[in-house]
Amino acid sequence: MILYYLVMILAALFVLKGIYNWVHAAVLRTALYIKLRGVCKSRGYEMNMPRFIFASFVRYSSRPDVIIKTGGVDYLIRIITCRQRKRVYHFVSHEWYVRVFRYYLLSLAFHSGTPLVLSRRARRLPPLDESFLSGEGDVKKQMVLLFNPSPLEITFNSPREGGKKVAANGTDYDGWLIYNGKAFSKMLGEDGAEE
């Protein structure tokens, strides 16, 4: 009988932890949008949201989650949600990433192979629609992968540098700039965007 109650308590804790992760991510996502909107308003930038605020929680799209137009640069932002902060996000290619715990990285082969792509932990980022990438005059289009909440670490394959590379804020990965929410809003607000 005690074992039954112990199992039920553990199951309840497991469910509550999952609910907490979703609620925590939703609160941080809302705070990110408020912060970005405030920065855009204070700097005179235009912010558009082609998708619903929480759409990338469930599914990625060929449309960006947020577009920020600074006048000289249009930031096409795709938001990646990390509900568990102890995860490492490893990009196998510019379209596929794998969410793993740190100890699991020891057993991974860091190359674009079928086992990683077919893994339950693998997620696909569809390429952005060409209509968003076509330029208007001399306006630069910059694609941004924005992690909110941010994971423990972001890594990717770098053949030029010999294997796996850890990404820092502002790292260019195959045409995408990698940022967490705090660093990106700071870059937009304090330092100003590239003009």
Q: Lowest-pLDDT range, 24-28, 76-80, 153-157, 180-184?
A: 153-157
Strand pairing category for 140-147 and 163-166: unpaired
Instruction: Report the sign of the C-alpha dihedral through residues 157, 97, 56, 181, in that order.
Output: negative
- Comparison of pLDDT for 87 and 109, the residue scoring more: 87
Q: Is the pLDDT of residue 60 over 90?
A: no
Q: Structural domain boundaries of the chain?
A: 2-191
Q: Residues 108, 100: contact at Cβ < 8 Å? A: yes
155: Cβ contacts below 8 Å, ≥ 6 apart: 88, 89, 90, 91, 110, 164, 165, 166, 167
113-152 pLDDT, tens digit each:
444 444 556 777 777 777 777 766 677 888 898 988 888 8
- Of the two residues 134 and 105, the one the predictor is more confident about is 134
Number of neighbours of residue 12 by Cβ within 10 angstroms: 10
Phi, psi (deg, nearest 5) at residue 83: -80, -20
CA–CA dist 195, 165 (Å, integer)? 29
What confidence category does residue 39 fall into, taking pLDDT thresholds of 50, 70 and 90? very high
User: Which range among 21-35, 47-61, 136-150, 165-179 has the greatest average pLDDT?
Assistant: 21-35
